[in-house]
Amino acid sequence: MPKKIDHEARKQDIAKATWQVIMDGGIEAASVRNIAKKADLSLGALRHYFSTQEELLDYAMELVKSRCEARIMQVIQQNYPPKQLVTKVLLELLPIDRESMAEMQVWFAFTLHLKYKQGDAFRQTDGIREAVQRALHFLLDNGHLKKDKDLEKETEKLYALIDGLAIHRFLNPEHFSGEYTAEILTEYIDDLCRE
C-alpha cells in the first residue's frame, strides 16, 4: 500500500480503538495510554500518528461524522421519491445497527466532554440540526409537508425527536430495537406529510 494510504488506514484503526475504549468505559477511560493498549501500539508509536489526546479524540469524532455523511450521500444517489428519500436520510442519523450504535455512543460521550470543557463557548457542529432543516425544506419544496407548519419549529421538534430516540435506544436497546426506533421516526415523518 502507498505510504500515505497506509498512514491514513493506521489512523482509522486507532480511531476505531478509541471508539471501543469510549464504548467500554466512557470518555473518562479514553486516555492515550488506554487507547494505545487497545490498538496494540506503544505510546511512542501512537504519538507518531497523534501528538495529543485532543487531536486523537477530534479525529475519532470527525471519522464518526464523515462515515455518517458518506452513508447519507449513498442514500441520496438512489433517486428515491422525496418522502422516502427524507425518511431514509434521517434514519441514517439514528443508531439503528451495531455500527451506527457505536458511532452514536462516541458522538454522545464526546459531545458531553466538549460541552464540559468549553462551557458557554461550546457550539454543536455535528450538522444534525442542519440536515433536519434541509430535509424539511425539501419536503416543503416538493409539496409534501402539511400546510400551516412552521419550518423553524418543526425543525426543533424533529431534531429533538431524533436525538431523544437515539438516546433512548442507547439507554434501553431491549425496548428500542433498531426496527422499532425506525418505525417511530418513519411514522413521525408520515404525520408531517399530506395524505
Binding site for its own copies (CB under 8 A): 24-28, 108-109, 111-113, 115-116, 120, 122-124, 153, 156-157, 159-165, 167-168, 170-174, 176, 183-184, 187-188
Give the span between the Cα atoms of 127 and 162, in whole angstroms: 13
Q: Report the chain's terminal Cα–Cα distance, integer Å.
A: 54
Q: How far apart are CA 8 and CA 27, in angstroms?
A: 23
Quote the least distance from Cβ 184 to its own copies, whole Å. Answer: 5
- CA 73 vs CA 1, 96, 120, 154: distances in Å: 27, 17, 33, 23
**Shortest distance, position 113 Cβ to its own copies, whole Å:** 7
Is the CB of 142 or the CB of 186 nearer to its own copies?
186
Please identify, using beta-carbon distances, which residue of 41 and 94 lies nearer to its own copies: 94
- Round to whole Å and give the CA distance between 146 and 59: 40
Nearer to its own copies, 40 or 191 (CB): 191
Q: How far is the CB of 38 from its own copies (least distance, A)?
A: 16
Residue nearer to its own copies on the CB measure, 99 or 116: 116
Q: Tell me how far, at minimum, the Cβ of 189 lies from its own copies, in Å.
A: 11
In the complex, least distance from residue 82 CB atom to its own copies, rounded to whole angstroms: 22
Q: How far apart are CA 37 and CA 190, in angstroms?
A: 47
